[in-house]
Structure 1
């Protein structure tokens, strides 16, 4: 039995709370992409919803709980996607939502947070600076602080992806690794229901803190993060999340920026999907180690498509698939 903070009964119950618009997302085999990568490739499309990422699964749980408790306000730090999801779920339930983000976050993500009616506070520095400010806001206003990956609802909401993945026979699931909510949630369900499925987490070399921590089996922090995959660019792994990850993941790998860009281009060319860099991490992992995945059925979770189009055109326009 896996020793983690997650619970399978709660994950099943989550499906009754999460708005169906976030559930049962498309999953299909992409033969054109697979022929380029040398393996059978399926994509799990977590972008086909109102916030264009998987984060709505977790924020639906959080805001439902807050409503039951009679709470009226919530604050989070976000690289962009969590803020959008919390704004969407909070507005639906009449909650006042504050999102703290870095000025460096993609403009497209910040604009969508504003459009969803949240109060957006910008800080200088990176996501970790935003997280510190969110803690202060929560304390000053005496409101709920939502901490992605640390708050179990974010992990168990994401874990419902695993319930859907477990319905199809696959060999390997590739999951973008940032704070760890999706990796621990999906990994927990797969290892509980389909233990033979290999769970591999993927992170950029420019933001390696959680991957290094996984291999060292202790928290490793970094002084900076330098990657176009802003959604996974954390520097301070959360100890409790690392413990969960160690229990449910088979491996964690790092990929180059050039492979992330090539993955984005391949997803556009062979699947018609415009994705943000974090969503191309799975394809990047196969590009960098084709022999490892040869002959296997690989699923890549396409976790987000909130991308600044000017930046996207610069990236995909300068890369050629390997």
Structure 2
């Protein structure tokens, strides 16, 4: 396999740095959901932890490294989940954490970032504006800027999910991964293509925020003017070139799904698994709904990547 920025030995070593509370998350077959979708479905539940998303696998590595270096502060831009994870990891290591987010981010995510002790800096714009603001704060204060998906720790932390998938007892045909900045997809994809290369790695992105999927298909960075989707956690407009290079190596396909399918996926996850998830976590189910013939009779794994969702919004979407 062509090389990526990731390293399997470092990924294996990462498990010794990450707090065990984030490791070995539940994975189980959901027959009720599978019958509804016409295939065998297993769920990898990355929400069963203190920050309700997979992001802390990466921030644990970053915060541990900064503590070893004697650094005292770090800043990141976040749609919400990374900020919570970094605040959690930084607090347990005595790091000052600043999170830059959009004022339009879900209130539940912003409230939890504050509750975890981070300084919250809000911008009146989208995630890309938050990225610019975070970079400026890092320069002005002389502190570490954590850039999700660009910083290899975020990818290799997420890649430990791939180790758990590859080490499972039940073989599967494909894994469906939400595609935003790319850390989850490149991390899990790298491990699976290294250890179980016959597994199909399929990335899923909302049609309203298609930049990285379009870039994957065109094999060059394509930006978009806007990112209109309820799946705020994956709503980026400017793909990172290094991430695209990695994704081109490890992903077998990248697909776009409609907003209506995302909502249907959230509803099915609630009805058949009892899970309240944020829109990004329903992308895998949405992909099956839109292409049932492709997955018919196959065993697929969908990574449930986050459950930090505004409950009022969830009720509007799922119980119109």
What is the TM-score normalised by the length of structure 1? 0.98
Query: Which digits, 9 at most, give the CA deviation of each residue in 1:15-62, with x for residues without a partner?
Result: 000000000000000000000000000000000000000000000000
CA contact (8 A) 1:2 1:192 kept: no
- Using the alignment, how far apart are the partners of 2:128 and 2:176 within structure 1? 25
**What residue in structure 2 maps to residue 175 of structure 1?**
177
Query: Which digits, 9 at most, give the CA deviation of each residue in 1:98-141, with x for residues without a partner?
Result: 00000000000000000000000000110000000000000000
Deviation at 1:167, TM superposition (A): 1.7
Query: Which digits, 9 at most, give the CA deviation of each residue in 1:52-85, with x for residues without a partner?
Result: 0000000000000000100000000000000000
**What residue in structure 2 maps to residue 109 of structure 1?**
109
**What residue in structure 2 maps to residue 259 of structure 1?**
261
- Using the alignment, how far apart are the partners of 2:3 and 2:253 within structure 1? 18
**What residue in structure 2 maps to residue 147 of structure 1?**
147
**What residue in structure 2 maps to residue 48 of structure 1?**
48
* Mapping for residues 49-128 of structure 1, pairs under 5 Å: 49-128=49-128
**What residue in structure 1 maps to residue 162 of structure 2?**
162
Deviation at 1:2, TM superposition (A): 3.1
**Structure 2 counterpart SS, 1:57:** helix
- Using the alignment, how far apart are the partners of 2:87 and 2:263 within structure 1? 29
- Using the alignment, how far apart are the partners of 1:225 and 1:12 within structure 2? 35
Deviation at 1:272, TM superposition (A): 0.2
**What residue in structure 2 maps to residue 133 of structure 1?**
133
The RMSD of aligned alpha carbons is 0.4
- Using the alignment, how far apart are the partners of 1:155 and 1:70 within structure 2? 23
**Structure 1 counterpart SS, 2:191:** helix
- Using the alignment, how far apart are the partners of 1:2 and 1:20 within structure 2? 31
Query: Which digits, 9 at most, give the CA deviation of each residue in 1:157-208, with x for residues without a partner?
Result: 0000000000231100000000000000000000000000000000000000
**What residue in structure 2 maps to residue 235 of structure 1?**
237
Structure 1 gap ranges (5+): none
* Mapping for residues 23-34 of structure 1, pairs under 5 Å: 23-34=23-34
**Structure 1 counterpart SS, 2:2:** coil
- Using the alignment, how far apart are the partners of 1:189 and 1:165 within structure 2? 9
Query: Which digits, 9 at most, give the CA deviation of each residue in 1:253-309, with x for residues without a partner?
Result: 000000000000000000000000000000000000000000100000000000000
Query: Which digits, 9 at most, give the CA deviation of each residue in 1:189-234, with x for residues without a partner?
Result: 0000000000000000000000000000000000000000000000
- Using the alignment, how far apart are the partners of 1:58 and 1:167 within structure 2? 20
**What residue in structure 2 maps to residue 223 of structure 1?**
225
Q: How many residues align?
A: 318
- Using the alignment, how far apart are the partners of 2:93 and 2:176 within structure 1? 33
Structure 2 gap ranges (5+): none
- Using the alignment, how far apart are the partners of 1:23 and 1:189 within structure 2? 16
